Structure 1
Amino acid sequence: MTALPPAPWPGTRPDDAHRPVPATAPGGAPRPAGGPVLPSDDDLLADAVAASDAPHVVFALSRHGRRTLCTGGTAPAPPLPREDLRYEIGSATKTFTGLLLAGLIHAGELTGGEPAAALLDGGRPAGAAPVTLAHLITHTSGLPALPAAFLLRGLPAWHTNPYARFPADRVVAAFLRHRPRRRPGTRWCYSNYGVAVLGHALAAATGTPWEDLLAERVLRPLGLTGTALRPHEPGHDAPGHGKDGVSPVPAFDAGGFQAAGAVRATPHDLLTFLEAHLDPAAAPPALAPALHAVRVPVLRRGLTHRHVHTLAWFRHPTDGGPMYFHSGATLGQQAFLGFRPDTGTALAAVCTRRFRAHDPFVAAAYGLLAEERPGPPGADGTHRSGAGQP
């Protein structure tokens, strides 16, 4: 892994060089004669919905601001349209937390280099190699995926809601007792635990609960009225299902891991969130610098440093430029969020089934985002289609 900077770099902008020439001229002019005939977005999304094989599925695509949604599933359609339900996005919540941290850094309220233990334990001395906020969001803190005591405490509710049995005070206490085996910043290890601790550290640093902080700094500025951090009124949250696609699963309770997995949102809200990343200049001015910052690589890992990470996103190369994405899962639902500046494309995909292996849902979503087709700018409006509607 390359050396981790002491804190995120405010003001740095991503490299948008080497953008491809669009396949259509501005305004949606037709392709030159003889060009390949590509399937429509409606057809692509319908194929992805069918391949997902889940009770409720929504694939929501934005190309140059023009939205196309396709819904379907193996279960009867719910009373509320599938696209209007809130879906649990699990670990994709970390993209919201990363944006929140970037916003606090650009506002001058934090640097990212603050020792988390000092914030959480009333000014505890930092020590020689403290775990910083930047380490926590980039999964280089040295913390394991979950606290050591999590398995034992969560085991009685392992198939229902294990996280609910590990509330905030236990997450913080476990962190303050933990002694990392490796120096922070030297190894990447994906950690729900670390990002959960980050949420509590941000709350301590600002004197504001993480839930309120996220609403104030991210959700309300972006107008995400269809996003919540807890189960909502009956009928407004999508029901989760187990790996068989039939067995019902209770609504997810993140316990003390809210910053790592509590967000539930409508597909339209998720697209709004992603479209802000595509065009920070059109976002609220207070968020624009943070939206730029979360596109900047902060570490590389793996053989030849192939795996690139930002404060909030996994970043993969394509022929035209980088694509940014993050997936997530709860016990009964899955989500995939991603965007590509070079093609002006954003994708929010959600489904109500938890796949354990041979995951067709994530494969379909990743394939859609990775596809090399800019797509013409479209007129304002939303296209909807139904695939597999009973």
Structure 2
Amino acid sequence: MTTTHRTPWPGLPADDETPAHRADSRADERLYERLGDAVAAADAPDVVFAVSRHGRRTVRTGGTAAPSRRPRDTLRYEIGSATKTFTGLLLAQLMDSGRLSGGEPALTLLDGGRPVGPAPATLVHLMTHTAGLPRLPAGFRARALPAWHTNPYARYPDARVIDAFLRHHPRHRPGTRWRYSNFGVAVLGHALAAATETPWPDLTADRLLRPLALRDTALRPGTGGADATGHGKDGATAMPPFDAGGFQAAGAVRATPHDLLTFLEAHLDPARCPPLAGALHAVRTPVLRRGPGHRHVHTVAWFRHPTDGGPLYFHAGATPGQQAFLGFRPDTGTALAAVCTRRFRRHDPFVATAYALLAEE
């Protein structure tokens, strides 16, 4: 197992020996050991667990594969569905700036010549999985089957996603039922592009990546930097770089663990990024409650669970060869970014381990 250094508190001398600093050091050592255990439990070729606590970062790396020439924490990893946290923040930013209200019917934006019914699916419906859309479009599996274990989404380009949405007839009125939908968030990306006359990758780069200084985050494979190589369930078979096809808004982001921590730290302290401060506050606000006793709470970008000290926000993601978990807790000032290069397996410990780390912090 390889490790990376722990970043000291800004302005704190390395030889400070105050009681508070000694307590911090002991907490750091405990966290450092726990992250090492998490890396080992992931049992993947490449693993990174990165934690920021009040701005102080602790990162551990390792894996079953031989280390590459570049440190594992400097590689970019595919975060799959955790991309939705970027798209949710993008929608919140466009709403906060007054560019959009969130109540725009997606149908109007994507096919302005078609009459809109009394209860159309809106941009907010799409982002909160309440638009009445299935997880994937009708016919997706049949078209993707030849590349199901490698790059299924690549066989479903932008035009086909939009056409599938225009042809879809929801069984339930938008806003009345929750159903997790990659399809819905993909359509949202195309609707935002239509509303702003800017492709989703360019819109995301301009409104999110640049203000947050995420220089090692990309929306396409092979765009500068170095991308980690994904692997199948056996941990040995290399997988090709993930191509999100027409589902970019739902799964295209790839980033280094350090950029992911920067992204999460902004959620903990929105004031550090004034252009996005309003949106960063907005994505922490509950917008939907569901399930028995309304125990399942969602914001426009995150799953939100309670802890004894306050809410915990998280989102996981996976591609055919990699996994990711992002989360943060305002009550403890903690953010966690975990990534690994192995296809999700049944009873896989990766997400459960990452969630438990954040919940126990």
2: distance between equivalents of 1:323 and 1:234? 33
2: distance between equivalents of 1:103 and 1:319? 30
> Is 2:352 the partner of 1:363?
yes
Within-5 A mapping of 1:162-181: 162-181=152-171
Residue by residue over 1:314-364, the C-alpha shift from the partner in whole angstroms, topping out at 9 and shown as x without a partner, is 000000000000000000000000000000000000000012211211111
2: distance between equivalents of 1:37 and 1:298? 35
Give the match's secondary structure for 1:148. Answer: coil
Question: What TM-score, normalized by structure 1, do the two folds share?
Answer: 0.85
Give the match's secondary structure for 2:245. Answer: coil
Q: Which of the numbers 207, 227, 231 marks the counterpart of 1:237?
A: 227
2: distance between equivalents of 1:184 and 1:251? 35
Q: Which of the numbers 290, 294, 312 marks the counterpart of 2:283?
A: 294
Report how far residue 149 of structure 1 moved. 1.3
> Is 2:194 the partner of 1:196?
no
Equivalent AA in structure 1 for residue 249 of structure 2: A
Equivalent AA in structure 2 for residue 307 of structure 1: H
Matched-pair contact (CA < 8 Å) for 2:267–2:281: yes
Structure number with the bigger relative contact order (C-alpha 8 A, sep ≥ 6) is 1
Question: What TM-score, normalized by structure 2, do the two folds share?
Answer: 0.92
Please say which of residues 259-268 and 149-158 is displaced more in the overlay: 149-158
- Runs of 4+ displaced beyond 3 Å: 26-31, 36-39
2: distance between equivalents of 1:121 and 1:306? 37
1: distance between equivalents of 2:169 and 2:301? 25
Gaps of 5+ in 2: 1-17
Residue by residue over 1:8-37, the C-alpha shift from the partner in whole angstroms, topping out at 9 and shown as x without a partner, is xxxxxxxxxxxxxxxxxx993666xxxx98
> Is 2:34 the partner of 1:44?
yes
Report how far residue 125 of structure 1 moved. 2.3
Which has the larger helix fraction? 2
Equivalent AA in structure 1 for residue 34 of structure 2: L
The aligned counterpart of 1:125 is 115
Matched-pair contact (CA < 8 Å) for 1:106–1:290: yes
Q: CA RMSD in A?
A: 1.7
Within-5 A mapping of 1:236-315: 236-283=226-273, 285-315=274-304
Report how far residue 38 of structure 1 moved. 9.1
The aligned counterpart of 2:328 is 339
Q: Which of the numbers 46, 57, 67 marks the counterpart of 2:47?
A: 57
Please say which of residues 137-146 and 122-131 is displaced more in the overlay: 122-131
The aligned counterpart of 1:28 is 20
Matched-pair contact (CA < 8 Å) for 2:287–2:298: yes
1: distance between equivalents of 2:153 and 2:325? 21
Matched-pair contact (CA < 8 Å) for 1:80–1:235: no
2: distance between equivalents of 1:144 and 1:37? 45
Gaps of 5+ in 1: 1-25, 374-390
The aligned counterpart of 2:207 is 217
Give the match's secondary structure for 1:347. Answer: strand
- Identity among equivalent positions (%) equals 74
Please say which of residues 117-126 and 94-103 is displaced more in the overlay: 117-126
Aligned length: 342
